[in-house]
Amino acid sequence: MNRPCISLLTDFGLQDSYVGQVKGAIAAVNPDAIVVDLTHAIPPQQVWQAAVTLSDSIDAFPPGTIHLAVVDPGVGSTRRAIAAEIGSYRFVCPDNGLLSLVLQRQPLSRAVHLDQPRWWRPTVSGTFHGRDLFAPVAAAWSLGYDLAEFGSSLEGPLQELSVPNYSATQGADCASMEVHGNVLTVDHFGNLITNIPRGAIPPDAAQLTIQITNIELAGVVRCYADRSDGECVALFGSADRLEIAVVNGDAARHLGAGVGTPICMRYR
């Protein structure tokens, strides 16, 4: 890339000046960096939702992008501040499980503990490492410095969250299969995004039904517009995960479902 790209994911919201201050800290080190706001609407302290959002978003960016992710309930504590190379991307974040789903998709190449204060701002707040530690390191990294210059090699593995996985079992009638999963996250539209990938269902699957809460859906649609307003549908979304949606409505509210709600897909 002629100009380095830094994506920014936080739970800071937009009411306060926190996001602007992080961008200012980046600009103070590398004013030529392209800073992309991935999202600042992660619910406060929800590391799990941040991990899902980050994993589902990185493929939209060019290789070499630095993903700066700051959802940091343990700011100021003994949790490690890290930078890592995973696949073709780079990450700067607290070591609190934010990279759990990314690590399921691509191998870790290198990671360091950000323990070299010369890269930080002169004064580091105990409550704002996003501005004073993570942002300056991400900006310096975008200038071409090697990862090893920012800190010592990590001792022990990165922290990982317990990631619920789907399972496939033979149905009670011995002629069908069942795929069991859970809702991973709920997006801004109320769509229920599950942990069941497109690849869990063979292309020739017939008599496909999906059970969630107290409803059963027949088959999957290609897009929301394939059904009428208010109708509940199943489809594979932009991250190729099974979603339950209400056309031009809110599936989470309509079904009384949320993160962790079980879902079962049956097919012959």
Cβ proximity of 58 and 86 under 8 Å: no
**Predicted confidence (pLDDT) at residue 35 exceeds the cutoff of 90:** yes
pLDDT tens-digit map of 168-211: 888 777 678 889 999 999 999 999 999 999 988 887 777 899 99
pLDDT tens-digit map of 37-75: 999 999 999 999 999 999 999 999 999 999 999 999 999
Q: CB neighbours of 41 closer than 8 A, spacing ≥ 6? A: 11, 13, 188
User: Does CATH number 2.40.30.90 belong to domain 167-267?
Assistant: yes
**Predicted confidence (pLDDT) at residue 155 exceeds the cutoff of 90:** no
Q: What is the mean pLDDT of residues 89-117?
A: 95
Q: Which two tokens stand for residue 29?
A: 């080190």
Q: How far apart are CA 194 and CA 199, in angstroms?
A: 13
**CA dihedral over 188, 261, 55, 67, signed as positive or negative:** positive
User: Given this structure, which CATH class describes domain 5-153?
Assistant: alpha beta
Q: What is the pLDDT of residue 122?
A: 95
Q: What is the mean pLDDT of residues 85-90?
A: 96
Q: What is the pLDDT of residue 229?
A: 93
Q: What is the pLDDT of residue 186?
A: 92
Q: How far apart are CA 65 and CA 48, in angstroms?
A: 22
Instruction: Give the residue among 147, 129, 125 at the shortest CA–CA distance from 81.
Output: 129
**How do strand 66-70 and strand 89-94 relate by DSSP bridges?**
parallel
Domain ranges of the chain: 5-153, 167-267
**Predicted confidence (pLDDT) at residue 163 exceeds the cutoff of 90:** no
pLDDT > 90 in the chain, percent:
80
Instruction: Give the residue among 107, 137, 108, 105 at the shortest CA–CA distance from 120.
Output: 137
Q: How far apart are CA 8 and CA 36, in angstroms?
A: 6
- Residue of 205 and 108 predicted with greater confidence: 108
Give the side-chain half-sphere CA count within 13 A for 125: 11
Q: What is the mean pLDDT of residues 208-229?
A: 92
Q: CB neighbours of 198 closer than 8 A, spacing ≥ 6? A: 236, 240, 241, 242
Q: How far apart are CA 135 and CA 137, in angstroms?
A: 5
pLDDT > 70 in the chain, percent:
99
Burial class (CB in 10 A: 0-12, 13-18, 19+), 176: middle
Q: How far apart are CA 190 and CA 182, in angstroms?
A: 15
